[in-house]
Amino acid sequence: MFVDIATLHIKAGDGGNGCISFRREAHVPHGGPNGGDGGKGGDIIVAVDPNMNTLRDHRYRRRYEAKRGQHGQGSDKFGKAGEDTIIWVPQGTVVRHAETHEILADLTTPDARCVIAKGGKGGLGNARFATANNRVPRKATPGKPGEELDIILELKTIADVGLVGHPNAGKSTLLSRLSSARPKVAAYPFTTLVPNLGYVTLDGVQSFVMADIPGLIEGAHEGKGLGLDFLRHIERTKLLIYVIDGSTEDPQADFNILQTELREYRPELLARPALIALNKMDILPADYAPPDFGNLPVFPISAVTGHGTKPMLYEIIRQLNSIPPASETA
Ligand SMILES: Nc1nc2c(ncn2[C@@H]2O[C@H](COP(=O)(O)OP(=O)(O)OP(=O)(O)O)[C@@H](O)[C@H]2O)c(=O)[nH]1
Ligand SMILES: [Mg+2]
């Protein structure tokens, strides 16, 4: 499970002030009050953008303000309301009050939106205060301040598919090939130090979430390399993809090492539906015969060129569709 968190400071717009004004026309001796009301300040609204998948964009924009309402004017002109500010978030985002941790909104549907900070009401113009006894009211009220608070956005994503492989096998390359994620790729081991998530689309439809995690080596369960701790990120995936570098001396032995390490971490992981992405086919001879990996389906691919990935994607979708949805426990 990947948890994305962003803390934002938000300030709704202040209300505009009411206006004190009197009619001044040559032929009207005692002009009455005509000060208009101030406009309402803009609200801060949090709304779902179904195309967003992470809170990444909010890490850099920490402060949101909505426009203030305009002040009232003479001639009974009301101030214009301030424009609302919309903070776009991915579906599934929970909005909390940063201090009390109270849930302010839980945006579960693709069209969910919620006012999180209300704009201040506009003040009243003096036209409102005219009475039989007071025809020249010199009174107007100021606009109310807009609400201001710190909020925490929280998004929990469960990856559907986890990539498991040795360092340098091409996991990050595959993720960047299949999704818009841009994890670092380099020709040395342990390039990936923290897991990356990508949203894989097939035939233009968002299909599933794929997680790229750091490479595993023999002895990882004893702490070698980066250890096994990051496997918790893929513990709840429905499907595992073993990314095997087909150009190494013994891809079969590489695969066995991966399985041994997974078994050491959690034997249940071996029972999880899985398939093999036999990678780097572009640098192997055309007559290369894939070794035997037991019962698992093998897809010879090139993460660099994308060759062979489409049939693998169809198989992934097929398998995901045949797995009943996992019950949510956390
Ligand atoms: N020729 C070829 N090279 C590839 C392919 N896939 C990945 N590579 C190269 O292999 C190297 C490692 O790729 P990464 O995607 O960083 O590998 P990784 O599995 O994420 O590695 P770690 O993050 O270290 O665990 C890079 O130099 C890639 O360009 C492929 O299909 N063909
Ligand atoms: Mg990597």
The string of pLDDT tens digits covering residues 226-283 is 777 778 778 888 999 999 999 999 999 999 999 999 999 999 999 999 999 999 999 9
**pLDDT for the residue numbered 235:** 81
pLDDT at 11 over 50: yes
Which-ligand-closest: CA of 307?
A: 1
Which of ligand 1's atoms lies nearest the C-alpha of 303?
31
Is 47 or 131 the better-scoring residue by pLDDT? 47
Task: Give residue 303 CA to ligand 1 midpoint distance, Å.
Answer: 8
Is 11 or 25 the better-scoring residue by pLDDT? 11
**pLDDT for the residue numbered 54:** 81
Residue 198 to residue 164: CA distance in whole angstroms: 15
Quickly state the pLDDT bin for 321 (edges 50, 70, 90): confident
Query: To which CATH superfamily is domain 2-156 assigned?
Result: GTP1/OBG domain (2.70.210.12)
Which-ligand-closest: CA of 214?
A: 1
Is 174 or 187 the better-scoring residue by pLDDT? 174
pLDDT at 324 over 80: no
Alpha-carbon torsion angle 166, 301, 317, 154, nearest 10? 40
Is 117 or 158 the better-scoring residue by pLDDT? 117
**pLDDT for the residue numbered 308:** 95
pLDDT at 42 over 70: yes
**CB 7, CB 101: distance < 8 Å:** no
Could you tell me the strand order of the sheet in which 63-65 lies?
63-65, 2-11, 148-157, 93-97, 103-107
Residue 97 to residue 243: CA distance in whole angstroms: 42
Among 185, 257, 261, name the best residue to mutate to test ligand 1's pocket (greatest count of ligand atoms within 8 A of Cβ): 185
The string of pLDDT tens digits covering residues 182-221 is 888 988 888 888 788 888 988 877 688 899 988 888 888 8
Is 44 or 322 the better-scoring residue by pLDDT? 44
* Alpha-carbon distances of 160 from 157, 296, 319, rounded to whole Å: 9, 18, 11
Task: Give residue 164 CA to ligand 1 midpoint distance, Å.
Answer: 13
Backbone angles phi, psi at 82, to 5 degrees: -70, 150
Domains of the chain, by residue range, sit at 2-156, 158-322
**CB 283, CB 303: distance < 8 Å:** no
Instruction: Give, using CA atoms, the residue closest to atom 3 of ligand 1.
Output: 280
Averaged pLDDT, 110-118: 94
Looking up tokens 């006894």 gives: 133
**pLDDT for the residue numbered 328:** 45
Task: State the CATH class of domain 158-322.
Answer: alpha beta
Comparing 25-34, 112-121, 134-143, 197-206, the range with the smallest average pLDDT is: 25-34
Which residues, other chains included, contact 267 with Cβ-Cβ below 8 Å and sequence gap of 6+? Answer: none
Residue 124 to residue 141: CA distance in whole angstroms: 5
- Residues with C-beta less than 6 Å from any ligand 1 atom: 165, 167-173, 185-187, 189-192, 214-215, 279-280, 282-283, 302-304
Task: Give residue 189 CA to ligand 2 midpoint distance, Å.
Answer: 8
Task: Give residue 128 CA to ligand 1 midpoint distance, Å.
Answer: 72
pLDDT at 329 over 50: no
**pLDDT for the residue numbered 194:** 78
* Beta-bridge mates of residue 89: 48
Q: Considering all CA atoms of the chain, what is the largest pairwise distance in Å, rounded to the nearest integer?
A: 103
Which of ligand 1's atoms lies nearest the C-alpha of 185?
16
Averaged pLDDT, 282-308: 93
